[in-house]
Amino acid sequence: MNHTPWCKSLTFAIAAIFIVLTALPATAQTSGVGNISGTITDTTGATVSNASVVVTNTDTGVTRTYTTSADGSFAAPFLQSGHYQVTVGGGSYAKVVRQNLILTVGQTLSIDVALPVGSVSSEIVVNAESPLIDTEKTEVSQTIGEKLISNVPVNSRNWSAFVLLTPNVVQDGGTGLVSFHGISGLYNQNYVDGGNNNQMLFSEARGRSSGAPYVYSLDSIKEFQAQVSNYSVEFGQAVGGQVNAITKSGTDSIHGDLFYSLRYPTLNALDPFNKFSALHNGGNPFLLTQPIHQQQQFGGSVGGPIIKHRLFYFFTYDGFRRVGRALYANTNYISLSPSATTPPPAGTNPTALITPTQCPTTITSAQCLSAINFLLQTSGATSAPPSRFSKQNIFFPRIDWHINSKNDAFVNYNFANFDSTYGYNSAPTFTNSSPTTNGPTSYHERF
């Protein structure tokens, strides 16, 4: 079999990358991981050097071994969030096992252990949860965990909507931006798995201006940290807030889920202002219907081991479908009658006329009537307002590889396709406008 030169070059490049990964310590950003550190002493308070510290991720079975320095301290950096166990001791000291430790994204978990004198076979097991106060933290932040993201209902199924649960964070306008302690939403920074998740346009979160309901599936986000101020040096590029999220990964056990969400007019109440306007102010009957006729969100995820304690997979599919209508109301008096003898509808200005009399002489009579009919149809006066359809598909695979005790690698790929008619502005009603000013929008990204 003959191999082309580019195949040989690609093979060589991949091999070189893995050689470098296994030979060098990790130097990646710490924003997508956590750390465990502490000091080991004996029962008198004297520091213990050269003590063995074994840190185990009980979700994946991945184990790392460290040795305390001359001052008795140790540091286990670049750890995935999850459940951990720390085993300390040996030699002339008894082993102490700290279990049920929970490490979250961006956290430095401090574990200090006092070793009692004992034989090698002696073991003390401490079932203790992580401390409520992080003594290593300087920033003002809040972590939204996997249980909250998975169990609290959110209409948009957009994980970033949970950022509003953070103190001093409010909506900035009606287009999806959020403001941290009063600063414009254009000055925030968004990370996913340690990578920049901002787009070029105004440095907004990726996908926000595209009209897409979300870019990452809610099912693929494990947890995130919203930092309001005083964040660490590895964060930057923003004077507002920092949103630091991580995606899910496989573990030693197979796990998965399926979901289906339905939004239907008969299951939702009408907007009270629109309802009052339609019933009492001569408003359009369209206001008595739900602008979103039907919205469906469906999909699922699955993850597990390929090789236990070594290689793991995770995959998510998320589908979104929405059907509705957009009403283009007009405050002008629109009529097909040249003399405009028809009584003007409530809410219109009878002195601002759009009739065949106002048509310019540069167009034909047929063109004039066609344009007026178009305005009447889009406002729902002579037929139903134009329909609006939105569709999105998201695929998210991820592979995690525990190379050795000092190196880990992962790769993920987010495939997002979004298309919508009249979707550039998602508002249900427009005044003195038309569908031609709100064209279709598409968002196709691979990252």
Give the β-pairing of 169-172 and 408-412: unpaired
234-238, 377-381, 399-403: segment of lowest average pLDDT: 377-381
Q: Give backbone dihedrals phi and psi of 134, rounded to 5 degrees, phi first.
A: -90, 105
Note the pLDDT of residue 30: 55
For 248-273, write each residue's pLDDT tens digit: 999 999 999 999 988 887 777 777 87
Note the pLDDT of residue 302: 96
User: Between the ranges 8-12, 15-19, 300-304, where is the mean pLDDT highest?
Assistant: 300-304
The structure tokens listed for 91 are: 């030699």
Q: Give backbone dihedrals phi and psi of 160, rounded to 5 degrees, phi first.
A: -70, -10
Instruction: Calculate ∠ Cα 95-98-100, nearest 5°.
Output: 150
Q: Give domain status of residue 82, yes or no.
A: yes
- Is 135 a residue whose pLDDT tops 80? no
DSSP-assigned states of every residue in 43-96 = TTS-B--S-EEEEEETTT--EEEEE--TTSEEEEEEEPSEEEEEEEEETTEEEE
Q: Do residues 191 and 241 both lie within one domain? A: yes
The structure tokens listed for 378 are: 């889009």
Q: Give domain status of residue 14, yes or no.
A: no
- Is 11 a residue whose pLDDT tops 60? no
The greatest distance separating any two alpha carbons of the chain, rounded to the nearest whole angstrom, comes to: 105
For 47-65, write each residue's pLDDT tens digit: 999 999 999 999 999 999 9
Q: Give domain status of residue 133, yes or no.
A: no
Say how many CA atoms lie within 13 Å of 222 toward its Cβ.
22
Q: Do residues 154 and 302 both lie within one domain? A: no
Q: Give domain status of residue 132, yes or no.
A: no
Instruction: Calculate ∠ Cα 256-258-260, nearest 5°.
Output: 160
203-217, 240-254, 338-352: segment of lowest average pLDDT: 338-352
Give how far the C-alpha of residue 332 lies from the chain's centroid of Cα atoms, to the nearest Å.
42
Q: Do residues 350 and 324 both lie within one domain? A: no
Q: Do residues 342 and 387 both lie within one domain? A: no
Q: Do residues 422 and 286 both lie within one domain? A: yes
- Is 319 a residue whose pLDDT tops 80? yes
Share of the chain above pLDDT 70, in %: 78
Q: What is the mean pLDDT of residues 355-368?
A: 84
pLDDT band at residue 75 using 50, 70 and 90 as cut-offs: very high
Note the pLDDT of residue 122: 57
Q: Give domain status of residue 3, yes or no.
A: no
Q: Do residues 279 and 383 both lie within one domain? A: yes
Q: Give domain status of residue 346, yes or no.
A: yes
Q: Do residues 153 and 258 both lie within one domain? A: no
Residue span of the structural domain in which 315 resides: 254-330+379-447
Q: Give backbone dihedrals phi and psi of 192, rounded to 5 degrees, phi first.
A: -130, 120
The structure tokens listed for 94 are: 């008894």
Instruction: Pick the last residue of a domain from 108, 127, 146.
Output: 127
Q: Do residues 219 and 118 both lie within one domain? A: no
- Is 163 a residue whose pLDDT tops 90? no
Cα 416 from Cα 319, distance rounded (Å): 10
Give the residue ranges of DSSP H helices in 223-291. 272-280
Cα 294 from Cα 296, distance rounded (Å): 7
Q: Give domain status of residue 78, yes or no.
A: yes
First to last CA, the chain: 34
Mean pLDDT over all residues of the chain? Answer: 79
DSSP-assigned states of every residue in 164-188 = GGSTTEEEETTTTEEEETTB-GGG-
pLDDT band at residue 147 using 50, 70 and 90 as cut-offs: confident
Cα 361 from Cα 366, distance rounded (Å): 12
Task: Tell me which H or E stretch contains 399.
Answer: strand 387-402
Indicate if the alpha-carbon torsion angle 333, 334, 338, 344 is positive or negative.
Answer: negative
- Is 337 a residue whose pLDDT tops 60? yes
Q: Is 175 exposed, middle or buried (0-12, 13-18, 19+ CB in 10 A)?
A: middle
Q: Do residues 166 and 46 both lie within one domain? A: no
The structure tokens listed for 142 are: 């809040």
283, 274 contact by CB (below 8 A): yes
Note the pLDDT of residue 14: 45
Note the pLDDT of residue 95: 87
Q: Do residues 240 and 145 both lie within one domain? A: yes
Q: Give domain status of residue 76, yes or no.
A: yes
Q: Give backbone dihedrals phi and psi of 422, rounded to 5 degrees, phi first.
A: 50, 45
Q: Is 374 exposed, middle or buried (0-12, 13-18, 19+ CB in 10 A)?
A: middle
Give how far the C-alpha of residue 388 lies from the chain's centroid of Cα atoms, to the nearest Å.
25
235-239, 246-250, 302-306, 417-421: segment of lowest average pLDDT: 235-239
Q: Do residues 166 and 237 both lie within one domain? A: yes
- Is 398 a residue whose pLDDT tops 90? yes
- Could you tell me which residue, 339 or 341, shows the higher pLDDT? 339
Q: Do residues 370 and 414 both lie within one domain? A: no
The structure tokens listed for 289 are: 């219907």
- What 3-state DSSP class applies to 129? coil
DSSP 376: H
CA distances to 60, 297, 313 from 303, in Å: 12, 21, 5
Query: What pTM did the predictor assign?
Result: 0.77
- Is 10 a residue whose pLDDT tops 50? no
Note the pLDDT of residue 27: 35
CATH code for the domain in which residue 41 is found? 2.60.40.1120
Instruction: Pick the last residue of a domain from 182, 213, 247.
Output: 247
How many independent structural domains does the chain possess?
4
Instruction: Pick the last residue of a domain from 213, 247, 281.
Output: 247
211, 175 contact by CB (below 8 A): no
Residue 395 identity: F
Share of the chain above pLDDT 90, in %: 25
Note the pLDDT of residue 389: 87
